Amino acid sequence: MLLGAVPAGLPAVDSGAPTDGDALKLGAGNLLSFSALGTSSSGSLYIRGRNGAQYVVRIYGQSGKARALKYDPRGRRWNPL
């Protein structure tokens, strides 16, 4: 897998607009932190598989939970794994 690999024109998981090539979307500071209370900062990490498959790991701030999705280029949508 290639961490930080974002092909041109890949739609962002949260907006549908093309990503700007930045594989780490964590707000203005690009900082991910977790608290002892189970919360975290929110964001997305884009990853490309060896076969060219595109994945994203989403981190949800209020719960601190992570969710992985895979991009379907035919349907042009992100699907949960």
pTM of the prediction? 0.78
Model confidence pLDDT, tens digit, residues 26-59: 766 778 888 888 888 888 888 888 888 999 999 8
Q: How many domains does the chain have?
A: 1
The residues, ordered by sequence, that sit 6+ positions from 15 with a Cβ below 8 Å of its Cβ are none
Residue 57 is part of which domain span? 1-81
Least confident among 8-17, 30-39, 40-49, 71-80: 8-17
The neighbour count for residue 20, using CB atoms within 10 Å, is 9
